[in-house]
Amino acid sequence: MNKRYCFLMLFVGVHLLWAQDEADASIGTQQVTVIKSYTPSLSDAFKLRSNPVPPDSLLQKKQSVEYPLIDVPVVSTFVPNKATPLKLTRRTSETPYNSFFSLGLGNHKQVLFDVSSVVQLDRNQSLGIWTYRDGFGGAVPNTIFQSRQNEFFLGGHHTLKENSFIGISKLNFESLNTAYYGLYDMEWDPLLINAVDPDIKRQKVALQTDWLWYDSLLRKLEFKTHYVADNFRTAEQLLYLKTQLRAELFEGDLDLTAQINGSHTRFESDYFTKEQVSKTLGLGTVGLQWTHLKNDLKIKVGATGSYVVDPNDASENKITYYPNIDLSYQTQKSKIIPYLNAQGNVRLNSYSEHYQENPFLAPTIDQRYSWSKYNTHLGIRSTVSSILGFDFSLYFDQVDQLALYQRLPFDPDNKDLAYRLSNAYNLIYSDVWVYGLKTHFKIQLGKENHLGFHVNYTQYDTIDNKPLWNIPNVTMRAEGQIKWSNKWVFSFDASFLGDRKGAAWDIFLTQTPEEALQRTPPTVNLPPYLTGQAQFTYKIKPQIDVFAKARYNSESVHGRWAFYPQHSLFVLLGASYKFDFQF
């Protein structure tokens, strides 16, 4: 242990001696500056500034500042009004009244009754009801049978609106009463006339619901059904169902529609065989259409196929195809829009559909389908300015089994039934080519003032060389409304039918209806027919209006249908009252 310490001390001592020699060899003369930190003394405290003292406003006066004004001469016509207190004015409601009542009386024993109301149940639902009655009881001059006519309507609807869909449901009852008073101008047996009841009374109950979805694959759903009956024991049921699916495809919409139509009609007696008739028709339709409306060229292109079913006639069962096209071109600055439209269709001719157009239809008709193969329109439409617009088109079509109204021959074995006295109409069918020209002008004179004119010329070429009964080549229509001073409103609607041909059978008591059909009936040329109605309305108060209506018929010998004259002038006066109805 001692040896180790002795060796260590020897090594340290040698190293220190060597280091001392190295230090002595490198150290030179240098200057060293010592800086002393600041140490304040008590006297330095008096060098601090005292706090500022604001001037005393009580001892010092404020200096006044003066702004000299320079007078500048000006010309002014301003005269101040004396102050007057504001008067509170009652604001009228922007929403219309939800209920309406109208009553009118006129010549020829006219009675008009119209009541409607739409009540809002909540934010999304509303309920409405409508009752309507119109007609006349006075006999038409120079008619043997009573010629009164009236109609009655009672209906209700329910509307449901949501952010994603809207649904409207309706339930209606309709009644139409008229008479087979259109006898030939000849001597009739008084015993026969006195034994006949000429009235035909038809009733219809209809249910309909329509649904529309905004952003869904299923876009539309329509359902209709009705039941029709009359005092000749006729009964008809009709069913209609249509759906539409929509999906996006190539910056457009692809629509797929499917439709089912069906009708079943029972007639108490066939006009020729006198046997009960039951007719059932069915129609299934599928259509596909692509729509693109984002560019100048608006495109709707597709096709539809239908399958017709007639259990009573297997030859009528067939598949039909027809186009579904709508093309138009419009640039941003252009006001002329050329277009091409082709909308073929197939329809089932029902009893209820045709008696709405011709109320003198016999309660036993031949029911078939009609096929419009092309129904093509090529034309231009335009809004020349905010005032004038027009639509001009040429159209072409080929129709298989076009429905025509032909007068039935006299039935010697009539059994005192009015429609068997050669004064009722049946449906017959003809294959035709159709060519035509359509024009439409509209003049917009303001928000509520407008005039419109429609002129159609149609040429028919029959394929089977059958006469085209009761079809005019020229039809016209004019309608409009003029409103001024928020008090007076004048509106009108008139239509014109050109020359047409009607059948007028010779009456032979020894000739059956079947034998009469073996030859072409004599023809009666029906002159042009003009009918129109006009109405003046004057607003007494926001809730009360008075009105005057007039209806004019130009032809008193035949009217729209051969040997069915009409009153030449109807005049009706009435009043309307609007109000709010709450449950």
Give the model confidence (pLDDT) of 196-215 as tens digits: 999 999 999 999 999 999 98
Torsion angles phi and psi, residue 326, rounded to 5? -145, 105
Using alpha carbons, list the distances in angstroms from residue 153 to 127, 206, 513, 551: 17, 11, 37, 21
- Residue 575 CA to residue 544 CA, distance in Å, equals 7
Give 141 or 227, the one with higher predicted confidence.
Answer: 227
Which residue type is seen at 525?
N
Give the model confidence (pLDDT) of 515-530 as tens digits: 988 888 889 999 999 9
Q: Is the pLDDT of residue 69 over 70?
A: no
Residue with tokens 């140490």: 39
pLDDT at 182: 93
Q: Provide the residue ranges of all domains of the chain, joining segments of one domain with +.
A: 99-579
- Residue 476 CA to residue 441 CA, distance in Å, equals 12
pLDDT at 448: 85
CA dihedral 52, 57, 61, 62 (to 10 degrees): 80
Helices (H) then strands (E): counts for the chain:
4, 26
Give the model confidence (pLDDT) of 102-116 as tens digits: 999 999 999 999 999
Residue with tokens 């809004």: 383
* Displacement of CA 331 from its chain's centroid (Å): 26
Helix (H, G, I), strand (E, B) or coil at 324: strand
- Residue 91 CA to residue 94 CA, distance in Å, equals 9
Ranges 3-7, 69-73, 98-102, 540-544: which has the least confidence: 3-7
List CB contacts of 424: < 8 A, sequence separation 6 or more.
180, 360, 361, 362, 407, 408, 418
- Residue 264 CA to residue 271 CA, distance in Å, equals 18
Helix (H, G, I), strand (E, B) or coil at 465: coil
- Residue 374 CA to residue 325 CA, distance in Å, equals 10
Give the model confidence (pLDDT) of 14-29 as tens digits: 454 444 444 444 445 5
Q: Which CATH class is domain 99-579?
A: mainly beta
Q: Is the pLDDT of residue 489 over 80?
A: yes
Instruction: Look up the pTM and report it.
Output: 0.80
- Residue 81 CA to residue 369 CA, distance in Å, equals 79
Most confident of 16-20, 82-86, 232-236: 232-236
Give the model confidence (pLDDT) of 379-432 as tens digits: 999 877 778 899 999 999 999 999 999 999 999 999 999 999 999 999 999 999
The pair of structure tokens assigned to 56 is 């005393």
- With bands split at pLDDT 50, 70 and 90, how would you rate the model's confidence at 291? very high
Express as a percent the part of the chain with pLDDT over 90: 69
Ranges 77-81, 130-134, 188-192: which has the least confidence: 77-81
Each as own residue / partner, the long-range contacts of residues 491-496 (CB below 8 Å, 24 or more positions apart, any chain) are 491/534, 491/535, 491/537, 492/532, 492/533, 492/534, 492/535, 493/532, 493/533, 494/530, 494/531, 494/532, 494/533, 495/530, 495/531, 495/532, 496/528, 496/529, 496/530
**CB-based contact 375:282 (threshold 8 Å):** no
Other Cβ atoms closer than 10 A to 445? 13
- Residue 446 CA to residue 434 CA, distance in Å, equals 38
- Residue 352 CA to residue 232 CA, distance in Å, equals 14
CB-based burial label for 449 (10 Å; 0-12, 13-18, 19+): middle
- With bands split at pLDDT 50, 70 and 90, how would you rate the model's confidence at 346? very high
Using alpha carbons, list the distances in angstroms from residue 207 to 5, 170, 174, 262: 126, 6, 12, 15
Q: Is the pLDDT of residue 8 over 70?
A: no
**CB-based contact 225:241 (threshold 8 Å):** no
